[in-house]
Structure formats: structure tokens, C-alpha cells
């Protein structure tokens, strides 16, 4: 059976020929996006500070 466009994109990001629904993969993330409608950015920032961690590549993160 042919893969969906989502499966094709995920397969490419995971360096695999094929992936299927329900499969767990490790994929390279090109861009991560967070929707900031209710202001979770502040809570996330506080938790990251508490855990002493930071965004490894800020240019790959978008807050909309």
C-alpha cells in the first residue's frame, strides 16, 4: 500500500524508505512550532529554567 504524504515526510526525516501509522520513529526535526494562544510560553520557560535546560537550536523553534 502506498504511503500518505505525512508518512513520506516522516520517512525522509527518519532516513527510512518507509514508515507506517503506529510505528515509532526517530526523526530529525526541521522546525518545531508552539501555539501561544493562552500563554504557555511563560510556563514552559519557567520549567526549562527550573530544569536548567535550554533550546539547543533556537532558530528551529517558532512560536505563533
pTM over 0.95: no
Which pLDDT tens digit goes with each residue over 15-60? 999 999 999 999 998 898 877 776 677 787 788 889 998 888 889 9
Domain ranges of the chain: 1-27, 31-64
For residues 15 and 43, what is the distance between their CA atoms, to the nearest angstrom? 34
Which pLDDT tens digit goes with each residue over 10-26? 999 999 999 999 999 99
Q: Is the dihedral of CA 40, 42, 48, 53 positive or negative?
A: positive
Amino acid at each position: 500500500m502506498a504511503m500518505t504524504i505525512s508518512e513520506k515526510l516522516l520517512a525522509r526525516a527518519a532516513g527510512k524508505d518507509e514508515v507506517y501509522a503506529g510505528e515509532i520513529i526517530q526523526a530529525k526535526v526541521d522546525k518545531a512550532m508552539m501555539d501561544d494562544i493562552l500563554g504557555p510560553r511563560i510556563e514552559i520557560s519557567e520549567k526549562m529554567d527550573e530544569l536548567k535546560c535550554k533550546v539547543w537550536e533556537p532558530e528551529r523553534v517558532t512560536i505563533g
